[in-house]
Structure 1
């Protein structure tokens, strides 16, 4: 299959490298890499453009809109698979506005520092869209073993699920930092305490539950947590996400450490 990758940042570069192993793949980025005309002569395009959050916490969909507008204007006939993190409601809006496009959402869950490896070996494939478009999109990932879950759901469920995934990581990190703070006050070893937590059969994973690593940071976890928090119409200051954002970021944990020192 001839495939295009739109956006060659950390995610797009990983997608391009892996897709090139299985498909004839072309790439394009606004920084000058590739030619946008090459994207039009493909059966599918994977869109990996950035959607960095504004100060309000809402994700910026302008790059996604620009890509869809270009494909619509060019009367592109292939499948458009959006991999970028989307503000909930975006897919419905795009489908209403660009009725001539074949849109699918497949949010990406890779880890930035091991992006290529994680894209190559996903824990699951999450997908939403019309049945005929989804089938074609899943064909792009035919190398993924059959025992890996293919989770098909509505657009809004997939959009929220992507944000919830990173917000949960932020929550685990924040919980660990809180336990570490309590242990330090009581002269206890937080590593011994948290080992009890992650060795339970219902947990079984020390990821994000290991003391001494600081608060959560990076490009995606903070912005996705803020975006999910912003989506909450209640804007309750007592909500779990409000606590996580106020206490679990790298900056906040470092600040607290300096004040205690």
Structure 2
């Protein structure tokens, strides 16, 4: 089984590289003093939270981490200007993402009278952010989904392909300012501002596309096995097309898709739609591939 978020180098857009600030020793400096003095907090210190905190630690003086396992101090979170919510949202029995961990954090922040910006980095169900904004009207909620590989979270957070964000304009701008250290931010690394529902579906669609590509590749590999054809040669025909940006997820002999994110995010999108023909087929193709392997 292929684990989608592995550490193989991506050939999409450009090769990844360490942030230049890290290469030359870096430093917690920012041309705008008011930005550099922001107090940040990271809630949830799992794979995503650790990448977020470790990166911000390098550029900002005050970055407090908190996790329900006992790490950190909640009072420090309440004194932060911007908090990043990075808790888990596993698949529930009905196929939707279980966003109760995110809701619990928002509920606690609301009850504590938190006045900073709440940035949700966790992947959430379709409609969750709008519902939460209404439910916790005293909070300044921004949704900013993360696009990381499980085994190289830090590198991908330092060098993102894009920054996707939704929420009130003023709050979005304050959050975007924190990422001043990203190479070519706003240029080759686009800032994609949109509605909450669009950002939610966009995050899910990103992983669903991976699911479709992997299942397509396995379908072609299955056909090659029937006719005793070399699947690598067959897929090389597709790889050579200038319209195919990347060979990622189009490599045969790697099995079905797996990992923590792609399966559950694809399922969330499936159960949120009325007639998801293509995604359902991709999921079925993946099931057959995993059983075969």
Using the size of structure 1 for normalisation, the TM-score is 0.94
Root mean square deviation of aligned Cα: 1.1
Asked whether 1:193 is paired with 2:234, we answer yes
Q: Which moved more, 1:131-140 or 1:150-159?
A: 131-140
Q: Which has the higher contact order (CA 8 A, sep 6+)?
A: 2
How many Å apart are 1:233 and its aligned residue? 2.2
| Structure-1 residue corresponding to 2:67 | 29
| Structure-2 residue corresponding to 1:11 | 48
How many Å apart are 1:2 and its aligned residue? 1.3
CA contact (8 A) 1:6 1:46 kept: yes
Which of the residues 66, 71, 78 maps onto 2:116? 78
Residue correspondence of structure 1 range 1-261 to structure 2 within 5 A: 1-23=38-60, 24-144=62-182, 145-146=184-185, 147=187, 148-234=189-275, 239-249=277-287, 252-257=288-293
Q: How many residues are aligned here?
A: 252
Q: Distance in 2 between matches of 1:156 and 1:199?
A: 36
Moved over 2 A (4+): none
How many Å apart are 1:28 and its aligned residue? 0.6
CA distances 1:189-227 after superposition (whole Å, capped 9, x unpaired)? 001111111221100311011111100000000000000
Secondary structure, aligned partner of 2:87: coil
Q: Which moved more, 1:174-183 or 1:21-30?
A: 21-30
Q: Distance in 2 between matches of 1:244 and 1:12?
A: 30
Using the size of structure 2 for normalisation, the TM-score is 0.84
Q: Which moved more, 1:240-249 or 1:159-168?
A: 240-249
Q: Distance in 2 between matches of 1:177 and 1:103?
A: 40
Q: Distance in 2 between matches of 1:193 and 1:9?
A: 40
Secondary structure, aligned partner of 1:205: coil
Gaps of 5+ in 1: none
Secondary structure, aligned partner of 1:248: helix
CA contact (8 A) 1:199 1:205 kept: no
